[in-house]
Structure 1
Amino acid sequence: MLLMEAREIAKSYGDRLIFEAKKLEVFYGDRIGIVGQNGAGKSTLMHILAGIRESDAGQVNWYGSTALIQQIDQEEEAKETTKHVRKRWGIAHIHTQMSGGESVRLKIAAAMEQQAPLLFADEPTSHLDMSGIRQLEEALLTYDGAVILISHDRELLDTICTRIWEVEEGGVHEYKGNYSDYRDQKQKKREREWFEYEEYRKEKERLTQAIIDTKQRAGEIRKAPKRMGNSEARLHKRKADGIRQKVERASVSLQSRLERLEKKEKPKEQPVVRFDTNAGEQHGRTIIQVQDITRRVETKTLFKRLSFSVRPGQKVAMIGANGSGKSTLLSMIYHQEKGIYTAPSSKVGYFSQMLSILDENKSIWDNVRESSSHPETTIRTALARMLFKRDEIHKPVSVLSGGERVKTALAKVFLGDYNLLLLDEPTNFLDIPTQEELERILAEFPGTILFASHDRKLIHRLADAVLSLDEERPVLFSGTFQEYLDRSKQPRPGREEERLVLETRLTDLIGRLSSPKLQPAEKEKLEQSYRETLRQLKEMGKD
């Protein structure tokens, strides 16, 4: 069932064409993701299709009502949501000082309750934690109608989308499938463009050389020698003229073929970053050691007696609900509060959501360059991969958008003279192309990374260890995010089984400690294990 159709729509700002689209259709059951770089016109397109803005040309027809989930920083939606809808989305009550997550949940609930056949959602995952995002996924998958959404969450786009509309270079291009399908199709398209360009280049070189050769042949055709008689000379001239005319016609034909040859532009090549850091320095077995730390905020305990260690070179994802203490823990590690140690050879780079490392009076280039020991070419290449064009690197930070500031702060951190990076939600406010470039750069970074994120794609592709602050007793899990999820699905032993395991371990430790042949180092290690096991048993006794 057709729910919406747009014909020959276009939008410009001044003399700049934002986009034009000949034909867009939405049917019942569609789940369409709109993607493109920041500033490409994604939100403008959505607002035109939703009927809250007008296009410069063309027409949009709707065959049913529509609902819209606005971005959180836009005008508030009506807050007259029913109690059962608020309960479903975890909104206990409506108040003036709502958090970002609560405001987003309220917008989603208000739009869902309208039960419109066509639902538009503009960045609905903003400020949601993983639990909220999974809840949103389920709601969008089961929505009775069609959904058109803009999102920087690649996992969300993979989970729900059946089609992708890409806003790029003034056009709207459709791809079948989810986001990964779109990326595969884009890659194949890029490979085809390279093939066609190489074929064009080879044919152009062949025709150009053939033209040169024929002209040279024409010039080499000699005139009649002076010793020839008149009749012989006339005969020679006729033959030479005939040959010359054939060669010249061949040259004209080749020139015509060259002019008719369809021009193929060279596809843009992605610059490659080559890191030259001290990340390979020896740190011993651990680069971060956290021992028995507790943090309370007012009446809430964020984490209690938390202990873990990070090995050099690990890329650790820190996950947890909003308010679980991820940002707090990163800040504590950076400031090396009591119970936290980093290796003496570590050089720590810290990216916080406050972006406090940026000097607003300086340019992008100056901010990044002043703290980096990398060659100029490496810095320029990395900035290009973060989609900063050549002249843009000299813009002052004070005039940058939120996303551009985030990119600048990230570049300053991972191009600084650091071998240990602490990153707090590094992909927030970044469009998908920039997220993917950041992901590649971080994957190539040879040092250690501890990062807090709700970006599941980033965690899946980057992390080789996971620390979940949602767990009752957080423990650093060595393994990929998928391995962590698979382990989390397995049934856990009951409390009595846990107690029995701990008591058995304690008995074994007591027996080993009673041995008179223990070396001092081994004895100290066993005593530490004994104290930790005893502590866990005491904690279980309090439950």
Structure 2
Amino acid sequence: MEQRFGATPLFSNVNFSIENNARIGLVGPNGVGKTTLLKIMTGRQEASQGEFTVNKGIELGYIAQEHDFDEEKSIWDEMLTVFQPLIAQGQQLEKLQYAVADHPEDSDLLQRLDQAQYNFEQAGGYTYQAEIKSMLNGFNFPQETWNKQIASLSGGEKTRLSFVKLLLKKPPLLLLDEPTNYLDLDTLDWLESFLKNYPGAILTVSHDQYFLDHLATQIFELQHGQLTVFKGNYSQYLKERELRDQQQEAAYEKQQEEIKREEEFIQKNIVRASTTKQAQSRRKALEKMELIDPPKHRSKVRINFSSERPSGKEVLILKDLAVGYPDKTMLKDISFQINKGDRVAIIGQNGIGKSTLLKTVMKQLPVKHGSIKYGASLDIGYYDQELQGLDYSKTVIDTIWDRHKEMNEKDIRSILASFLFTAKDIDKKVSQLSGGQRARLTLTVLSMEHNNFLLMDEPTNHLDLDAKEVLEQALADYDGTLLFVSHDRYFINELANKIVVAKDGRAKIYEGNYSYYLNEKAKEEARQQESASEQPAAAKAVSENKLSYQEQKKRDSEKRKLERQVAQAEKQLTELEAKEKEIQQQMADPAIAADFGKLGPLQEDLTNVQEKINEVTQAWEEASLALEDF
């Protein structure tokens, strides 16, 4: 398959197939044609060359920019349209039931009723309304909204409702373009769980690494006009991509050295009568040589944050704080402390007050109640998700120069180049930049201030996966303190050592990363469910304190079994990780790296070992979690 943009090819020689129940993440920098590829697959756009064919009877599900709704209908009535054939089937069944009631002696009629009831049940006739309710609740449409007219919904709500309608249809192949946009963290966790058990195949474009890690089992990388297939999730793809790049770098450098030696020989010997033929022969061989390309992933933004001076040990203390606006309190009863070196993430639904809290700490909004105590020697830097700190009338270079008048132009150009601004870009006005370029310019400005306390509001918005990866590493290496708002779960999980959850007008702190928060949240929900279904005190005392001898014996046996499983998994992991390291060392050998015939089998062995590591790790986690309940 090939697609051109004018005379320039966007991508070419793209070949792939999608298996039943596939879970594919389509990744690549912005502008390489990922959305275009999805449009070709759905028939909304024709390929310049080649085609995408779908097996007969396979329906594709895709959310287009325009919403397929009757906006006069309520949310509930619109969702019912998905099940119109089933509803009609139910109406026919009801007629049969009335007919049998009038003629109970008619055996033929009874048989038809039995078959109709069975067919209706198998088609989901008794469960489709529960499916609709579950899906609407999962996508944060509570029951009190179900009678709302669709025309009254916001653009983001309509996009979420399109997703609900699409998933209710259950097409055999789902094509998702940035499905995690517009969704809060609770909805994202629910969606992941739903899609893991989805009965069809899924291909998704996403910048959400956490989502790709938990869903994808294959990664399609679209870059430099080519599509490359990798096994595993996004983290496995990064490891394999890095290994391939190292191998290609070694092979490329080796070939370049060989070319240089040959060219030197040719130059020295071409004019000598005794060696002219040998030089000419080597020149012909050099011209026929199949050149190895340099690694694909060389051009990365380079970000570095460092502080000019250290802060005090206590950075920020919030006590009984309430934040908001004159006519509205957004969050209250906020009490927590941030110490030097902390990475604190604030999470919660959109519009609940996360940005308001940051603006209050930045003194852009007054404190409504309570207090904020700032630590000693603080230099505070602020990243605004709206990127309002930039003057849109200035050029890129003047944005930096006006803040650092003592710097020479060469140094400024060098710094901007490290943030991937080309010579043409730096003379553009900020208003002419894309969202991603403005985000990188804001990060450039912030990195040059050398603050020791960074407040960042959705810093990964507008950034592609590569840029997010570099930003994450830069903040991990940062020697100061970080307080940030984000909906990017991978970013939060990798950076945060504390999570502040804004919910129901209050803020609660968890001393750990995002995975720790999810674990604690699950425990809290389990305790709530247990409390809601609690037996009377006397019966509970019997069930908890008077286990029979047989029951206690069974528990002890189950515990020992889990302990054996954990020990066995740990032993397997040690052996597998040693094997993984051994293979990687072999592949890093320059002699092997230059021999693609040897690399293939080693790469296959490595992939198999890494897949086994994932399987054993999952088994270890499940057994360990179960063991914690004893």
Q: Normalization by structure 1: what TM-score?
A: 0.75
Q: Find 1:81's aligned residue among 64, 75, 79.
A: 79
Q: How far 1:87 moved relative to its partner? A: 4.0
Assess, with a 3 A threshold, how the Cα gap between structure 1 residues 103 and 422 changes in structure 2: closer, same or farther. farther
Checking the alignment, whether the CA contact within 8 Å between 2:24 and 2:218 is kept in structure 1 is yes
Which residue pairs with 1:321 in the alignment?
Answer: 349
What residue identity is the alignment partner of 2:165?
Answer: A
Query: Given the alignment of the two structures, is residue 393 of structure 1 paired with residue 426 of structure 2, yes or no?
Result: yes
Assess, with a 3 A threshold, how the Cα gap between structure 1 residues 494 and 132 changes in structure 2: closer, same or farther. closer
Once the two structures are superposed, the pairs formed by residues 218-237 of structure 1 within 5 Å of their partners are: 218=272
> Using the alignment, how far apart are the partners of 1:190 and 1:414 within structure 2?
28
Assess, with a 3 A threshold, how the Cα gap between structure 1 residues 313 and 35 changes in structure 2: closer, same or farther. same
Q: Find 1:193's aligned residue among 248, 251, 256.
A: 248
> Using the alignment, how far apart are the partners of 1:376 and 1:449 within structure 2?
31
Assess, with a 3 A threshold, how the Cα gap between structure 1 residues 382 and 178 changes in structure 2: closer, same or farther. farther
Q: How far 1:374 moved relative to its partner? A: 7.9
More helix by share: 2
What residue identity is the alignment partner of 2:479?
Answer: P
Once the two structures are superposed, the pairs formed by residues 253-402 of structure 1 within 5 Å of their partners are: 253-267=281-295, 268=298, 270=300, 272-273=302-303, 277-278=307-308, 280-281=309-310, 283-295=311-323, 302-335=330-363, 337-338=366-367, 339-343=371-375, 345-371=377-403, 380=413, 383-402=416-435
Assess, with a 3 A threshold, how the Cα gap between structure 1 residues 168 and 354 changes in structure 2: closer, same or farther. same
- Name which of structure 1's ranges 449-458 and 199-208 shifts more when overlaid on structure 2: 199-208
Checking the alignment, whether the CA contact within 8 Å between 2:303 and 2:470 is kept in structure 1 is no
Q: Find 1:173's aligned residue among 225, 228, 235.
A: 228
What residue identity is the alignment partner of 2:493?
Answer: H
> Using the alignment, how far apart are the partners of 1:406 and 1:77 within structure 2?
33
Query: Given the alignment of the two structures, is residue 53 of structure 1 paired with residue 51 of structure 2, yes or no?
Result: no
SS in 2 for 1:287: strand
> Using the alignment, how far apart are the partners of 1:24 and 1:480 within structure 2?
37
Q: How far 1:454 moved relative to its partner? A: 1.2
Identity of aligned residues (%): 32
Question: What are the superposed Cα offsets for residues 279-328 of structure 1, whole Å, 9 maximum, x if unpaired?
Answer: x33x3221222121123679986432211221123221112222332111
Assess, with a 3 A threshold, how the Cα gap between structure 1 residues 137 and 475 changes in structure 2: closer, same or farther. closer
What residue identity is the alignment partner of 2:60?
Answer: T
Q: How far 1:29 moved relative to its partner? A: 0.4
Q: How far 1:381 moved relative to its partner? A: 5.6
Q: How far 1:203 moved relative to its partner? A: 1.5
Q: How far 1:487 moved relative to its partner? A: 4.4
Question: What are the superposed Cα offsets for residues 330-378 of structure 1, whole Å, 9 maximum, x if unpaired?
Answer: 1111117331232353222222222211111112232244335888777
Which residue pairs with 1:526 in the alignment?
Answer: none
Provide structure 1 residue ranges, at least 5 long, that are not aligned to the other structure.
Answer: 1-8, 219-243, 496-543
Which residue pairs with 1:13 in the alignment?
Answer: 5
Q: Find 1:33's aligned residue among 7, 25, 48.
A: 25
Which residue pairs with 2:474 in the alignment?
Answer: 441
Question: What are the superposed Cα offsets for residues 100-140 of structure 1, whole Å, 9 maximum, x if unpaired?
Answer: 65333212101112222111111111121111111211222
> Using the alignment, how far apart are the partners of 2:415 and 2:476 within structure 1?
13
Assess, with a 3 A threshold, how the Cα gap between structure 1 residues 88 and 460 changes in structure 2: closer, same or farther. closer
Assess, with a 3 A threshold, how the Cα gap between structure 1 residues 205 and 88 changes in structure 2: closer, same or farther. closer
Question: What are the superposed Cα offsets for residues 195-234 of structure 1, whole Å, 9 maximum, x if unpaired?
Answer: 1112112222332344456569x5xxxxxxxxxxxxxxxx
What residue identity is the alignment partner of 1:362?
Answer: K
Q: How far 1:23 moved relative to its partner? A: 2.3
Checking the alignment, whether the CA contact within 8 Å between 2:34 and 2:222 is kept in structure 1 is yes
Checking the alignment, whether the CA contact within 8 Å between 1:466 and 1:478 is kept in structure 2 is yes
> Using the alignment, how far apart are the partners of 1:387 and 1:439 within structure 2?
17
What residue identity is the alignment partner of 2:443?
Answer: L
- Name which of structure 1's ranges 119-128 and 417-426 shifts more when overlaid on structure 2: 417-426
Question: What are the superposed Cα offsets for residues 415-467 of structure 1, whole Å, 9 maximum, x if unpaired?
Answer: 33532211111112322122112222322332221101111111122223222
SS in 2 for 1:27: coil
Q: How many residues align?
A: 455
Checking the alignment, whether the CA contact within 8 Å between 1:100 and 1:127 is kept in structure 2 is no
What residue identity is the alignment partner of 1:40?
Answer: V
Which residue pairs with 2:627 in the alignment?
Answer: none
Checking the alignment, whether the CA contact within 8 Å between 2:383 and 2:456 is kept in structure 1 is yes
Assess, with a 3 A threshold, how the Cα gap between structure 1 residues 109 and 271 changes in structure 2: closer, same or farther. closer
Query: Given the alignment of the two structures, is residue 69 of structure 1 paired with residue 63 of structure 2, yes or no?
Result: yes
> Using the alignment, how far apart are the partners of 1:274 and 1:22 within structure 2?
36
Q: Normalization by structure 2: what TM-score?
A: 0.66
Checking the alignment, whether the CA contact within 8 Å between 2:216 and 2:234 is kept in structure 1 is yes
Q: How far 1:45 moved relative to its partner? A: 0.6
Q: How far 1:250 moved relative to its partner? A: 3.0
> Using the alignment, how far apart are the partners of 1:46 and 1:464 within structure 2?
38
What residue identity is the alignment partner of 1:293?
Answer: L
Q: Find 1:127's aligned residue among 158, 182, 186.
A: 182
What residue identity is the alignment partner of 1:78?
Answer: F
- Name which of structure 1's ranges 90-99 and 140-149 shifts more when overlaid on structure 2: 90-99
Which residue pairs with 2:34 in the alignment?
Answer: 42
Provide structure 2 residue ranges, at least 5 long, that are not aligned to the other structure.
Answer: 71-77, 81-131, 529-630
What residue identity is the alignment partner of 2:4?
Answer: S
> Using the alignment, how far apart are the partners of 1:379 and 1:161 within structure 2?
41
SS in 1 for 2:153: coil
> Using the alignment, how far apart are the partners of 1:253 and 1:439 within structure 2?
52
What residue identity is the alignment partner of 2:29?
Answer: Q
SS in 2 for 1:429: coil
- Name which of structure 1's ranges 92-101 and 43-52 shifts more when overlaid on structure 2: 92-101
Assess, with a 3 A threshold, how the Cα gap between structure 1 residues 287 and 118 changes in structure 2: closer, same or farther. same
> Using the alignment, how far apart are the partners of 1:494 and 1:113 within structure 2?
31
Checking the alignment, whether the CA contact within 8 Å between 1:387 and 1:434 is kept in structure 2 is no
Assess, with a 3 A threshold, how the Cα gap between structure 1 residues 250 and 100 changes in structure 2: closer, same or farther. same
SS in 2 for 1:423: strand
Q: How far 1:97 moved relative to its partner? A: 4.8
- Name which of structure 1's ranges 139-148 and 470-479 shifts more when overlaid on structure 2: 470-479
SS in 1 for 2:182: coil
What residue identity is the alignment partner of 1:366?
Answer: D
> Using the alignment, how far apart are the partners of 2:225 and 2:214 within structure 1?
28
Q: How far 1:271 moved relative to its partner? A: 6.7
Assess, with a 3 A threshold, how the Cα gap between structure 1 residues 402 and 349 changes in structure 2: closer, same or farther. same
SS in 1 for 2:483: strand
SS in 1 for 2:194: helix
- Name which of structure 1's ranges 78-87 and 29-38 shifts more when overlaid on structure 2: 78-87
Assess, with a 3 A threshold, how the Cα gap between structure 1 residues 152 and 384 changes in structure 2: closer, same or farther. farther
What residue identity is the alignment partner of 1:319?
Answer: I
Once the two structures are superposed, the pairs formed by residues 108-147 of structure 1 within 5 Å of their partners are: 108-147=163-202
SS in 2 for 1:58: coil
> Using the alignment, how far apart are the partners of 2:30 and 2:525 within structure 1?
44
Coordinate RMSD, CA, aligned? 3.1
Checking the alignment, whether the CA contact within 8 Å between 2:306 and 2:479 is kept in structure 1 is no
Which residue pairs with 1:148 in the alignment?
Answer: 203
Checking the alignment, whether the CA contact within 8 Å between 2:313 and 2:339 is kept in structure 1 is yes
Question: What are the superposed Cα offsets for residues 48-98 of structure 1, whole Å, 9 maximum, x if unpaired?
Answer: 10111112222222222222123xxx3223262235343443322344453
More strand by share: 1
Which residue pairs with 1:90 in the alignment?
Answer: 140
